[in-house]
Structure 1
Amino acid sequence: RRIELADLTIGNVTVETDGVALWFAASKTDQEATGEETFIPAWDDPLLDPVRATRAWLDVLHQLDVHDGAFIRALT
């Protein structure tokens, strides 16, 4: 869901060689609030690969001296 992505923090994103792990602390379907990890596997196509895209986005954030907080944010 969109709200779950909006609540995602940098600390809840783990880039691995074979994909990207996203940790959601709570969701609409997680009635016990135990959290849930979602894994997005890497793709062979460099234009669609979530690993490359996530690394590139984290590089942009780090260049702006952003190391925590919201993962998806507006840049001004």
Structure 2
Amino acid sequence: KVSPGMKFGDAELLGVPNVLVAGRGLADGVVELRDRFTGESTDLPVDEAADAVVARLREQYAKQDAIELL
């Protein structure tokens, strides 16, 4: 069994752009979506989390593609 701290550390090393945290708010149906690059953190209803992650990844990849075109 691997601790959450080890998992977060691995995500940092791999460069994972977003972290979805199911912490204390999960009992109330809320998760936290954190952008590792900007530090922005957003609380979301659990049922909206998957769509929010996909939208954020699309946005981040679009920005990356625009930068590579410069």
Q: TM-score, normalised by structure 2?
A: 0.33
Q: Could you say which structure has the higher helix fraction?
A: 2
Larger Rg: 2
Structure with larger RCO (C-alpha < 8 A, sep 6+): 1
TM-score normalised by L of structure 1: 0.32
